[in-house]
Structure 1
Amino acid sequence: MSSLSKDIVREVLTYDNYDEWQVLMKNYLVGQSLWSVVDETECQPPTGDPSYAAWKEKNSKALHAIQISCGAVMFSHVKTSASASDAWKALANECRSAWGRRRKITETLCSHSQKMKEVLGDDGGEGLSKYRILYDAALNGDWKMAKWFIDKHSEALAAGLDKWSNTALHIAALYGNTQFVIELVKITPPESLARQNCVASTALHLVAEGGTKRMAEVMLERNQSLFHIRDSNGMTPLLSAAVFSRKDVLSYLYSRATDADLNSNLEDCVAVLIHLINAECYGMALDLLHRCPNAASTPYENDETALDFLARKPYAFKSRRRLGFWHRKLYSWVHVEFPDTHSHTAKKYYKDEEDPVKEEQVSNGFPQRSSTHQLLCYSNKLFWDVLQQIVPSIKEVRRRKLMHLQSRELVKQLFKKVTMMIKNDHKVEQLLGPPLIVAAEFGIVEFVEIALKYYPRLIEYPDANLRCIMQVAVLNRQEKVFKMLNKKGRQITLRTFDRDIYMNNILHLAAKLAPPHQLHSVSGAALQLQRELQWFKAIEMLAPPKYKERKNSQGLTPQLLFSEEHKDLIAKGESWMKETAASCTVAAALIITMMFAAAFTVPGGIRSDTGTPIFEHSHSFLVFVISDAFALFSASTSMLMFLSILTSRYAEIDFLESLPRKLIIGLAMLFLSIASMMATFSSTMFIMLRNRQGPISIILASLGVVPATLFAFLQFPLFVDMMSYTYGSGIFH
């Protein structure tokens, strides 16, 4: 959380803390005399009204406070809001609708599970008093004691032991006593396994919430009807497992579901699909979609489809994952395949039509070509299976790659089925447009690519603010999406240059300050401003010249809006540059002082008769002279660069190339001077210890590497960032 948001609320807004957040936020806004613009007791006056400027200032302060107090996901719902009132309502609607869904499903189940655990230690009435021994045995997993008690009291097997009417099987399942459950199921009549507690949950429901796969197996082997029993929320064990993301139990229960089971209740099917996506079980979601295709276009809650939920999962896609150097290499090398765990039709279903090579890699089973080819495929798979046991990080890379392939395929199948099943263009756009806008906001390139492949007209789909996906990508600084849309100018249309409801054209959107999570992905205020300038200049090159002078509803041209939005960042960038330059100037000055003195204090002394160095013919002395000169000259150059930064005018445009270039040269020269200074020290050690044993002089001289290495380690990331942003590929490449 940023320091600014900490001054307002305890933690940024998420779906889980809205009640607490809105109380703290309201108190803050009231204390700052800003609440009146949020609850609209102070309405927006006409633009020409004398009170408009005061209202605008209060609205901006309130909106800023709300936005910086939001997490990344919640910020996406208000980043385009023009008024604090709109932002407040949008967050309330989003959180309450999401909270309502969770109350209806997840929270209800969680609460009754928790309450059951809380009351298990309470006086459960006559049942608990009478069957206390069995109750304690089920709670602690003591099968011997339970068996002894049941042999004496056979009626206890189906009796309710607490105020929730939980049987011994319910209690053991709730507390995860697997072996106890297995033994108890063996002696329980099949019809007794269907016993429901006071919230209509069977023991299998509790297994789905927190049990193990083995528990579910033994129960369904004894009584298959358990699979279809619903609790008081109307939920089957399969849906409960999906809600609680119990992947092992979920996988098993899903494997028991027939096509008839899935298609008999479309609402259930959609709910399972949504929760499979939330649980990141994309393989099962793919199979479910194949078996129940109508789920692709059926809304769940709040008129949201599976695509809407998937669009809010950016890290399920390769384009949003940032991998280190070695992980990138491993990612490109590792072999993955879709395991055939759910459907015999999966091989055909997972076929990748766009990439035949990938199809061979990800299909279930191996391509039916030749025994030699199958042997090679099997050997390749075996190699990676063995290697991941030796190198644990390979397993995580393979898991990610599989997830990326599955999520991409899921998006493709969802778009494919929606466009095939629905022929009404308006309805298709209403279903596919909103998730596409969200995907563009989050920078999911694969999602946008697939959407435009199956329904190209979505390129012009407007969001609530009348912005198309190109404009949304620019506003949210989603470089990969922008590059993909701009590739060869294929996706540039007249809609790209249309104005939104605030009369902003695409240049105005580029002039706005980037969202905080994008801004903070770049280190240092100066580099953040440089990146903002690069975005603005890139869009300026793209847009026709006439758009540069057009004004928005605030009467600002794009250039004026950029200056207004970034004035704080410019001040921070200037401060950051000056502090960095001042610190480095001191270091460079010290090196100059030492190296200048060293040039006249020759190690080993000089001959009194000729004035020449005694060791002038030594290799170590030659190294000393060269490194001393390099250190002196490079430190001098470095100091001059930093001094020029300190005396710069710090104009807006200077942050684009001039200041970063000077900083790059200054840091490079400073590093070279430090390395040369250490070389000077090492050569001096060799000269002074020439008559001593070799290892001692080598060890002492080698210590000179430490400061240079430490400096490089600390400053290298900043140096690489500056080089990349200044001389690397631009927005258009």
Structure 2
Amino acid sequence: MTKQITYWSETPLLIAVGTGHSHRFVEKLMKRIVDIGAKEKLFVNSSNGSNALHYAAKVGNTTAARLLVEQNPDMTRVMNSFGNTPLKLAAYHGNKETLKYLLTVTPDLRPGEEGRSSYTGVDGGDLVTLAITAGFYDVALDIIDLYPEIVLEYDRNDQTALQVLALKPDPFPSGNILGFWGRVIYSSPTIKNIHDLKVNDNLTRLLVKRICKTVIGKADHDIIWKILGSAITTAVQYEAYELIEECIVTYPSIIWYDVGGFYLFHAAIKHRQERVYNLVYQMSGHKVFMATHIDENIANVFRNSYFRIPRN
């Protein structure tokens, strides 16, 4: 029952959990293993260091995850050979139900407790950015509500939650591709996909506001500058207008951030982002200075742009 029987050193329990649907068999097998006094064998690793809870998270087997956590709650924080906890695997593979359950049973480190927290450092950064990448904006909000400073963390790709949001413009109204009639009925959804788009829009807007509020709350210019700046640099390229708007409203000085050698005002022109350009133009008291104090490279961008620069 507990022998590693495959090339990847998997036990029968690992295989059964990995099917994602053999719930009755898994329950009986676990009971039999516990009854013979081999409870510790429930969490035998495969060759890549993954135990049965990792398998449950990877395939979205919430039923098996509950049974396993009941036997050993501490296994929720165990990492496999790739540094992935069950939490991160559930998020990475888009298993929302399992992810939400694991969040309720994966505690943070207690004061003075040694080990790695699932909600700080790279692990915390990975968790929140993976949730956003999977489109689980409501779960990301729940995570941020519980652990606000997770938005300051960088994931394994050196990206923050706000920057990853900037990579996903589709949930925002300016980034979706509804077409003319879709936009007409957007304000009163009667079709499921239109409804889903509106829900995602509301969630992403709330998510951006929550992140910006937390970042500003640090009252540290360097942190604010780096997190908001890297996000708007990405947002300009991916046309996430609403995110840029919130960043500017939250911290107006961010218009002076260097976006690939240009200020935001100029970068908007370079990337043909007329709405961003107009936003900065209208909100900035320095528009004359910014529009006139430019070098030759920026001037060439202006000359080749597809829209006119407003005159005072």
Matched, 1:454 2:250: yes
Q: Give the aligned partner of residue 464 of structure 1.
A: 260
- Structure 1: which amino acid aligns with 2:29? L
Q: If you compute each CA radius of gyration, which structure gives the higher value, 1 or 2?
A: 1
CA shift in 2, pair 1:437/1:459, >3 Å: same
Q: Give the aligned partner of residue 504 of structure 1.
A: 297
Higher relative contact order (CA 8 A, sep 6+): 2
Matched, 1:328 2:177: no
Deviation track 1:674-710 (CA, whole Å, cap 9, x = no partner) reads: xxxxxxxxxxxxxxxxxxxxxxxxxxxxxxxxxxxxx
The 5 A counterparts of 1:417-432 are 417-423=214-220, 425-432=221-228
Residue aligned with 1:159, SS: coil
Per-residue deviation, 1:228:
2.2
CA distance in 1, matches of 2:275, 2:29: 57
Matched, 1:291 2:86: no
Q: Give the aligned partner of residue 400 of structure 1.
A: 197
CA shift in 2, pair 1:488/1:463, >3 Å: closer
Choose which of 245, 267, 275 in structure 2 pairs with 1:480: 275
Contact 1:445 1:481 in 2 (8 A): yes
- Normalising by structure 1, report the TM-score: 0.38
Per-residue deviation, 1:192:
2.6
Choose which of 33, 38, 49 in structure 2 pairs with 1:188: 33
Higher share of residues assigned helix: 1
CA distance in 1, matches of 2:153, 2:107: 20
Per-residue deviation, 1:488:
7.4
- Normalising by structure 2, report the TM-score: 0.85
CA distance in 1, matches of 2:17, 2:174: 41
Deviation track 1:56-90 (CA, whole Å, cap 9, x = no partner) reads: xxxxxxxxxxxxxxxxxxxxxxxxxxxxxxxxxxx
CA distance in 1, matches of 2:142, 2:109: 14
CA shift in 2, pair 1:495/1:219, >3 Å: same
CA shift in 2, pair 1:487/1:230, >3 Å: same
- What percentage of aligned pairs have identical amino acids? 29
Matched, 1:200 2:49: yes
Deviation track 1:604-640 (CA, whole Å, cap 9, x = no partner) reads: xxxxxxxxxxxxxxxxxxxxxxxxxxxxxxxxxxxxx
Per-residue deviation, 1:457:
0.4
The 5 A counterparts of 1:294-693 are 294-301=149-156, 303-334=158-189, 394-423=191-220, 425-465=221-261, 467-487=262-282, 492-499=287-294, 503-505=296-298, 507-512=299-304, 532=306, 535=307, 538-539=308-309, 541-542=310-311
CA distance in 2, matches of 1:483, 1:431: 23
Per-residue deviation, 1:258:
3.7
CA shift in 2, pair 1:493/1:178, >3 Å: farther
- Structure 2: which amino acid aligns with 1:504? N
Contact 1:460 1:495 in 2 (8 A): no
- Structure 1: which amino acid aligns with 2:134? A
CA distance in 2, matches of 1:222, 1:178: 18
Residue aligned with 1:504, SS: helix
| Greater Cα offset, 467-476 or 245-254 | 245-254
In the alignment of these two chains, the number of paired residues is 301
Residue aligned with 2:5, SS: coil
CA distance in 2, matches of 1:188, 1:396: 47
Per-residue deviation, 1:302:
5.2
CA distance in 2, matches of 1:291, 1:493: 44
The 5 A counterparts of 1:242-261 are 242-258=91-107, 260=109
Contact 1:269 1:292 in 2 (8 A): no
CA distance in 1, matches of 2:8, 2:177: 48
Per-residue deviation, 1:272:
0.4
Per-residue deviation, 1:437:
2.0
CA distance in 1, matches of 2:65, 2:284: 55
Contact 2:119 2:127 in 1 (8 A): no
Structure 1, unpaired ranges of 5+: 1-156, 335-390, 514-531, 545-733
Residue aligned with 1:446, SS: helix
CA distance in 2, matches of 1:230, 1:252: 18
Residue aligned with 1:314, SS: coil
Q: Give the aligned partner of residue 130 of structure 2.
A: 275
CA shift in 2, pair 1:439/1:264, >3 Å: closer
Q: Give the aligned partner of residue 228 of structure 1.
A: 77
Q: Give the aligned partner of residue 173 of structure 1.
A: 17
Q: Give the aligned partner of residue 59 of structure 2.
A: 210
Contact 1:282 1:407 in 2 (8 A): yes
CA shift in 2, pair 1:328/1:182, >3 Å: farther
Per-residue deviation, 1:333:
1.7
CA shift in 2, pair 1:440/1:490, >3 Å: farther
Contact 1:238 1:253 in 2 (8 A): yes
CA shift in 2, pair 1:188/1:449, >3 Å: same
CA shift in 2, pair 1:485/1:322, >3 Å: farther
CA shift in 2, pair 1:271/1:441, >3 Å: same
Per-residue deviation, 1:201:
0.8
CA shift in 2, pair 1:302/1:328, >3 Å: closer
Per-residue deviation, 1:325:
4.3
Q: Give the aligned partner of residue 113 of structure 2.
A: none
Contact 1:201 1:232 in 2 (8 A): yes
CA shift in 2, pair 1:491/1:437, >3 Å: farther
